Chain A
Amino acid sequence: MSALDSPSPTPSLLEVEGLSKSHAGIAAVRDVSFAVPSGGALGLVGESGSGKTTIARLVARLESPDSGRIVFDGTDWLALRGGSLRRKRRDLQLVFQDPQTSLNPRMRAGDQIGEPLRVQRIARGAAVAQTVVELLAEVGLDPSIARRFPSELSGGQRQRVAIARALATRPKLLICDEPVSALDASIAAQIVNLLLSLQHALGLAYLFISHDLAVVGRVAPRVAVLFAGRVVEEGPFERVAARPLHPYTAILVASVPSFEAGPRVLSTPPRGARSAAQGVAAPSPGCAFAARCPIVRPRCREEEPPLALVEADRRAACFYPGELSAGL
């Protein structure tokens, strides 16, 4: 099953197909495929150890995959080398969870925002300072912020600086890895709103990665759910959230705190000493979720369900799709 044949109203900016990566013999990412439309957004949701950060690093070419193909903006992204890779990197930038660690503590905010302009030889001299002021305004910060060090900024201001820095090269795609997880709800809401308005203003596309399904839903019309390095469900966010097909998605949906409904308790069997969500050294033949699945059957322990089209525009890797959410 390929992400390339999913019906998509706009052409894809990023197409990932069959991506796999092991770390020290442990499969972190297995046969992952997805697409991000131009100017659109795809959400990747999963818990720690699900492979979402490895996927961000692979797409950003901070690591090389063991296998798989990435087409970015019409180019064979993994084949680019040298000057053409350096130039194309302008089009793809990253925003991390904690700007405290991604920003240099000894460098003023303005110098960090201007650094990609100099490195990429987009601007020099006074033009850099002018562009930095424009970038600060774009992310809703006062020009005076340029002179401050990261330690003199609030968490929300630091994340705005990290976004301004990512925007400096005028990218087409931003990979946002847990961009609001370290922030309070009101500040997280401000950052999500900023990302949405930048998307409209600049035609940016997002690969938006988070453990928080509700936050993903604010940004991404389409979501892929990761479990143990695999995509276990993929489809339009509203339909996935309203009626999950994979039992893991159903449990994820039920664990989102809500003001409307009371807590919906879905008990899962206790886990072993290592979370089943983490990669496994020697994959057992069955479904990786079997040990936690409330509706597990003998077949699930013998063969791994493929990611298959279950209904129009929706895929799930489960032999009994929709069964658990029907019982909620």
Chain B
Amino acid sequence: MRPPLLSVRDLRVEVPSEGAYRPAVDGISFDVAAGESLAVVGESGSGKTLMARALLDLLPEGARRSGRIDFEGRELPSGAESVWARVRGRGIGLVFQEPASALDPVRTIGSQIEEALRASDRGSRGSRDRASELLAEVSFPDPLRGLSAYPHRLSGGQRQRAFLAIALAGDPLLLVADEPTASLDATVAAEVLDLIDRLRRERGLALLLVTHDIASAFHRADRALVLYAGRVVEHGPAAAVFGRPRHPYTRALMASRPRLSDSPGEAPFPSIAGSVPALAERASGRCAFAPRCPECFEACRQSEPGLAAIDSALSVRCFLPQT
């Protein structure tokens, strides 16, 4: 059997908080197959962004990771800079939430794409032509003029397209997109997600989409990973996870997204009480979601449920998963 494109085992990221190292990502395991899309969903404090950054060895100062990451069947050791430089250039492309801060404000879009082409050994002759082809591929309006534009002259959607062009320069096999549309208006956000869908189809790209918006992940992901307080609470095919959520947190998260078909005003709509606990407030030895869970009972406060398989593809961390 071919190994998965990306394999993550027992990934843990600890960050300093109130005088101690505390796990913000706490033992996460998953695979992404070639061409597959995985949605990672959860609220602020779920650890989803740190997890995405760990996949590119781009953790903030002071954070430390353990666990194993394999890409194309080879282990990527933490801190092995030459290995990671190659992976970031050619294997894994990255798109962040805020392209305005990720793009260099004093250099043209063209020179930033050409730099990415050079970094991936694809920047020999004709790199300017290749850069404009990449801009055309991401449906950037007027690619030739776009090459000489500076980031601040562009709209938010155009900046995100330019950022995508840079991420594609090394012909990656996997795109890690961390909240790629969170700072965009709704209509532009939908366009950028549609663009990422098209790039996946045309290039056979695998996608790891980190998002707080569970509804936008639903139709764009093959599989879904739901995180709560640094732990996986539900993991499986997107159609099963979102179509028939077993974990109370997944259900609550879905219910708290307003729908257009809701009636305005009258009945309050479902919300989860409380918020994700801060790192220093996470007690071990019980379910992290217990204090907010409408279905919590005694066992949930006395021990932590394991991530248990419901069937061959689906696993849930709950003593009472809904059937």
Q: Chain A: residues with CB nearer than 8 A to chain B?
A: 41, 47-48, 154-156, 184-190, 192-193, 196-197, 211-215, 217-221, 237-238, 241, 251-260, 262-263, 265, 267-268, 270-275, 277
Closest chain-A Cβ to B245's Cβ sits at a distance in Å of 10
Q: Tell me the chain B residues, 226-278 only, with Cβ under 8 Å from chain A.
A: 242, 252-254, 256-265, 268-273, 275-276
Chain A contacts of B218 at CB under 8 A? Answer: 257, 259
Beyond A189-B270, A218-B269, whether A255 also contacts B155 by CB under 8 A is no
* Contacting residues, chain B, for A156 (C-beta < 8 A): 275
- How far is B265's CA from A211's CA once the two chains are assembled, in angstroms? 18
Q: How close is A217's CB to chain B, nearest CB, in angstroms?
A: 5
Contact B191 A238 (CB under 8 A): no
The reply to whether A268 and B187 contact each other, CB–CB distance below 8 Å, is yes
Which one of B77-85, B124-132, B209-217, B313-321 contacts A? B209-217
Cβ–Cβ contact A260 & B262, under 8 A: no
Q: List B residues at the A interface (Cβ < 8 Å).
A: 43-44, 139-141, 149, 153-158, 185-191, 193-194, 212-216, 218-220, 242, 252-254, 256-265, 268-273, 275-276
Q: Is the CB of B190 within 8 A of A253?
A: no
How many Å from the CB of A324 to the closest CB on chain B? 13
A272 to chain B, nearest CB (A): 7
The reply to whether B269 and A192 contact each other, CB–CB distance below 8 Å, is yes
Contacts of A197 in B (CB 8 A): 268
Choice from A154, A190, A256 contacting B273 with Cβ under 8 Å: A190
With A189-B256, A271-B141, A273-B149 known as contacts, the answer to whether A238 contacts B264 (CB < 8 A) is yes
Q: List 19 A-B contacts (CB under 8 A).
A: A47-B185, A47-B188, A48-B156, A156-B275, A186-B275, A187-B275, A189-B256, A214-B258, A220-B265, A237-B264, A251-B187, A254-B190, A257-B257, A259-B257, A263-B219, A270-B140, A271-B141, A271-B157, A273-B153
Contact of A256 among B140, B260, B269 (CB under 8 A): B260
Are B256's CB and A275's CB within 8 A? no
Given contacts A193-B271, A221-B265, contact A259 B43 (CB under 8 A): no
Q: Does B268 lie within 8 Å of A193, measured CB to CB?
A: yes
Contacts of B189 in A (CB 8 A): 255
In angstroms, Cα B185 to Cα A251, docked, is: 12
**A218-B44 Cα distance, complex, nearest whole Å:** 23
Using known A-B contacts A255-B190, A257-B213, determine if residue A217 contacts B271 with beta carbons closer than 8 Å: no
- Bound-state CA distance A260–B190 (Å) is 16
- Cα–Cα distance between A233 and B219 once the two chains are bound (Å): 29
Are B186's CB and A255's CB within 8 A? yes
